Structure 1
Amino acid sequence: MNAPSNANAAPLVGVVLEEQIDITVDQVCALCRVERTQIVHLVEEGVIDPMQPASAVAQWRFSGEALARARRAVRLQRELELNPAAAALVLDLLDEIAALREALRR
C-alpha cells in the first residue's frame, strides 16, 4: 500500500497565539494562579510590562510574551522561593544565556 502523496498539499500555516493575545491583569493572575499583588510586583520589578501603561492596574493589558514571562517568574518564585527582584535577575540571566547560545549557533 502506498502512502498518499503530499506534493500538491498546501503548506501548513500556524499562528503563535502567545504573540497575538491581549489579556487583562485578572486573566494573567488566573493563568498564573497568583493574586494581583504578585503581578503588580512583577511589573514594578520590570519582569513584565503592560502593553500600554495605564494608571489603574485593572486597565493593564498584557501580551502573550508577557504571560509566558510571568509564568516563568512565578514558577521560579515558587520552586526556588525567590522574591520578585531575584526572579527578574534570574530571567534576565536566562535571556542573556539564550542570546549567547543563539550567537554561538550562528
Structure 2
Amino acid sequence: MTGTVLDERITLTLNELCGMCGASTELVIDMVEEGIVDPTGRGPEEWCFTGEAIQRVQVVRRITEDLRVNLPGAALALELMDKLHALRQQTAQGGIHG
C-alpha cells in the first residue's frame, strides 16, 4: 500500500463520500456501524467525513470485493494495517529498538 497525503480539513457529506469512492450509501452506513469510519453528526443526513474516510472506504471496498472478505473481517484487516503503519512510523523515528 502506498501513502497518500489526505487533507484532514476536508469534510464530505455521505453522498459526496459515496460518489468519490464509488460506494453505496448502504455500504458506508454499514462501515460506520462497524466502526471503520467515524463521521461527525447525528445521523446519515448530518454526517461529515474527513479526508481519511476516503482512503478507508476505498481500502475496505477492495478487501471486500477483491478478497471476498466480509465487513467485520475487513474492519479487522484495516485495524491490523493501521497498527502496522504505526509500528513502522515508530521504527522510522527510532522509537522501537530491537
TM-score by length of 2: 0.82
Distance in 2 between residues matched to 1:100 and 1:33, nearest whole Å: 31
The equivalent of 1:44 in structure 2 is 33
Gap regions ≥5 residues in structure 2: none
User: Any idea what SS the aligned residue of 2:49 has?
Assistant: strand
Aligned length: 89
Per-residue Cα deviation, 1:14-52 (whole angstroms, up to 9, x for no partner): xx55322110001111111121110001000000000x2
Distance in 1 between residues matched to 2:6 and 2:89, nearest whole Å: 23
Letter in 2 for 1:74: R
1:29 aligns with 2:18: yes
Structure (1 or 2) with the larger CA radius of gyration? 1
CA root-mean-square deviation: 1.4
Equivalent of residue 53 in structure 1, options 26, 30, 41: 41
User: Any idea what SS the aligned residue of 2:38 has?
Assistant: coil
Residue identity over aligned pairs, in percent, reads 35
TM-score by length of 1: 0.76
Stretches (4+) displaced over 4 A: none
